[in-house]
């Protein structure tokens, strides 16, 4: 049943024991990183290699398809619009392709559209989807994914989700990006990082922020440091949880099965059938 499926997805997002996976982890043969590639994923199983002669982490391959980048825009409700609620959410896949983008209508009366920052205007609410439907759809998009965002925990708050930190990539927490951009003492805002490292100007003009633009910028920043940042995180996690590798492998296998199931459902629902068959 749909209600049961949604409940399972919400549990996946909020389960504190959920696992996380990494695409590039230090190997036992070298001091750099290794990318096993999606071609080595067979029958929905994660390929891993343990060096029993050392204490280096087990290698787990993470397909690019398990990553998504998220950005939300908020408006204000309540007295003086001080309380933030969701008004737009954009999600892109690892290639920057749009997975989800909707304007979202909160249940409360909007008292501050925060247009210079949110880009939200009253006209957008005319075609906005109800927040309960939006939250259901967004949680489905995020289930079984590694979530990339910039100050993403603000987004999680308005979405009402709290994913395990092992499968969250918050680029505000990556010191390497600040080092690369030469922004020591100057903050690590997405706009500054994007201009310094991507040669891309975002959040300009009076139209306000665009969550699609911000999600793609965050994704591209993550790609710059993925191969060097993730091994550092994985090494830190493995010191606190010796069993993290097996949990990661389980997450990978479960996520791949979920992708395969969705692909089968799309086919059975006629999504890819020729039009003449449907007539």
Tens of pLDDT, residue by residue over 164-205, are 988 999 999 999 999 999 998 778 999 999 999 999 999 887
Instruction: Give the count of beta carbons closer than 10 Å to the beta carbon of residue 10.
Output: 17
Coil/strand/helix, residue 232 = helix
**What are 215's two structure tokens?**
């999600």
Inter-residue contact 58 to 49 (CB < 8 Å): yes
- Please give the backbone phi and psi of residue 89, each rounded to the nearest 5 degrees, phi first: -140, 135
Confidence of residue 269 (pLDDT cuts 50, 70, 90): low
What domains, with CATH codes, occur in the chain? 2-63+229-268 (no CATH), 65-224 (3.30.420.10)
Query: Measured between alpha carbons, how far is 228 from 216 in angstroms, rounded to an integer?
Result: 20
- 221, 189 Cβ separation under 8 angstroms: no
pTM higher than 0.85, yes or no? Answer: no
Eight-class DSSP state of 62 = -
- Average pLDDT of the chain to the nearest whole number: 80
Q: Minimal CA–CA distance to 259: which of 17, 36, 38?
A: 38
Pairing verdict, β 67-77 and 146-149: parallel
């Amino acid at each position: 049943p749909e209600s049961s499926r949604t409940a399972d997805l919400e549990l996946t997002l909020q389960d504190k024991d959920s696992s996380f996976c990494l695409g590039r982890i230090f190997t036992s043969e070298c001091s750099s990183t290794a990318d096993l590639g999606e071609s080595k994923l067979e029958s929905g199983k994660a390929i891993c290699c343990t060096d029993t002669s050392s204490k280096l982490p087990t290698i787990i391959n993470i397909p690019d398809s398990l990553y998504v980048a998220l950005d939300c825009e908020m408006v204000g409700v309540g007295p003086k619009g001080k309380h933030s609620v969701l008004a737009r959410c954009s999600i892109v896949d690892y290639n920057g392709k749009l997975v989800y983008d909707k304007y979202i209508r909160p249940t409360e009366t909007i008292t501050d559209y925060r247009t210079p920052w949110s880009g939200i205007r009253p006209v957008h609410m005319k075609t906005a989807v109800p927040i309960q439907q939006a939250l259901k759809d967004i949680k489905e998009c995020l289930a079984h994914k590694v979530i990339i965002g910039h100050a993403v925990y603000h987004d999680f708050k308005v979405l009402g989700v709290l994913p395990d930190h092992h499968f969250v990539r918050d680029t505000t927490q990556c010191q390497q990006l600040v080092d690369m951009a030469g922004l020591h003492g100057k903050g690590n805002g997405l706009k500054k990082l994007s201009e310094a490292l991507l040669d891309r100007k975002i959040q300009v003009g009076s139209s306000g922020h665009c969550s699609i633009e911000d999600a793609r910028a965050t994704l591209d920043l993550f790609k710059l440091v993925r191969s060097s940042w993730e091994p550092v995180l994985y090494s830190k996690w493995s010191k606190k949880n010796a069993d993290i590798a097996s949990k990661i492998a389980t997450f990978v296998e479960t996520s791949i099965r979920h992708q395969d199931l969705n692909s089968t459902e799309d086919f059975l629902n006629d999504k890819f059938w020729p039009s003449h068959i449907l007539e």
